[in-house]
Structure 1
Amino acid sequence: MNPYRVLAAVAADWGRLGPYLRSSTGATTGTGDAAGAANGLSSALRSLRSMERQAPGRTAAAGETARFLLALLPPAEAERLVAGHPDRLAGTLEEETYAGFSAADLAFLLLDDNPMVGPLLGPVRERLLSYPMLDDWAAEAHARTHGLIRLRGESGARGVDRIPSFQFGDAVTPWPVVVAVNGLLDSARDPWGAADWWLSANGYLGVAPVELLGSGRDGQLVGTARYLVEGE
């Protein structure tokens, strides 16, 4: 099977197969074959993600990543993914998807714990990333600023998380209401969900919440977010 398709198929079936990989890569300081495969998978997946689509050796890197992955799955699951063609994990192959998922989606899931993947949530991720972000220098300066949405797994040139700029009133100080609402929405745990709340049309408010920043309706923003979380 095409190695890209193997990786994409695992992303598509992440709810069932993900726990096998999470339990292995979460204990990469151990010893033995499993620990070596776990370390190898994380390293190979990072390397694959860093390569341009048409880069020489990309298919070989995908094959290596797939081999590490298959070594961490139960034999029956690995056999099902390869579908009886283990010899096809090498060579020059086109990058394939599976059920709308790609090898890149597996990197988001495993390396970044980022659920915004696949044919439904992938476009949402791209839409959110199309909004203005702090530049890398400003994002680095706010690396420890409390209460901000940080889009993990979408690093800029300096390797820092992307920070949506709507959170700032003057490009230096975050809006207090943004920090308050982000706390209610638990943006540290679910930054993509919090960003989507701010930037999407809201039936209760009649507009996207971001459009009300600076309008004197902070109490309504907090109340709407609290109602979403607490249902009161």
Structure 2
Amino acid sequence: MTTDDLLELLRRHLPEIRASLTAAQFSGFQDSVLRLRAAGDDTRAVRGAVRQVRLALLPLPREMELRRKLDQFRSGGAAPSAVLPDTDRLAELIRLLDSVDWPTLDPESAEIARAVRQRLLTAPARGPEQLTGTAAEDPAGAGLIRLSDPERGDRYPDFQFDPDTGEPRPVVQRINRMLLSDQDPWGAADWWLGGNTWLRDTPAALVGRVPDARLTEAAAALIGDGGW
């Protein structure tokens, strides 16, 4: 799949993207597309910008068709001609992004978002009072996913911690930072706690069971490192 294929995919699904992201998330998506324009004909910079586009869309519900297509997006060792975007196609997407009105989340998208968050909040998790060591001293600095439960307050999914020491698992910290969990904890949690076609299992269930490098490669495949 070329960069132009990605641009066309984004153009066709723009209404769904608008409806499924918060204002802040949508702004981040716009910024990532502008970064793609700023990359010009520098293939390395274009690959980095494409990675940012995909990261910006991680908050999309996994159940959406667009999210599934983005998860499958690969270019491998694509030639520069497949990497560099058509300038007219990119300009048209930016024009559309600039011209749209910010919509109210439609009922169907809102229900999908609620269902996703409820699913993630049912996973085993710890409250702030249960954190120990470095996690208790500075949860944000430790690179931990923090989910806000309207009834129970902050929750930290259990898979992030070594069961013996209670310390954050280094591989989880590394991948959380790759997935920008500080900016989008729900998207990062959805990656860990959802089915993964690359791993053929739930990533959180594989921590400690497969080599750390395997998990890191799966996260890199999602966001484009190594492929884009």
TM-score category by the smaller chain? 0.3 to 0.5
More strand by share: 2
Higher RCO, 1 vs 2 (CA within 8 Å, ≥6 residues apart) = 2
* Bigger radius of gyration: 1
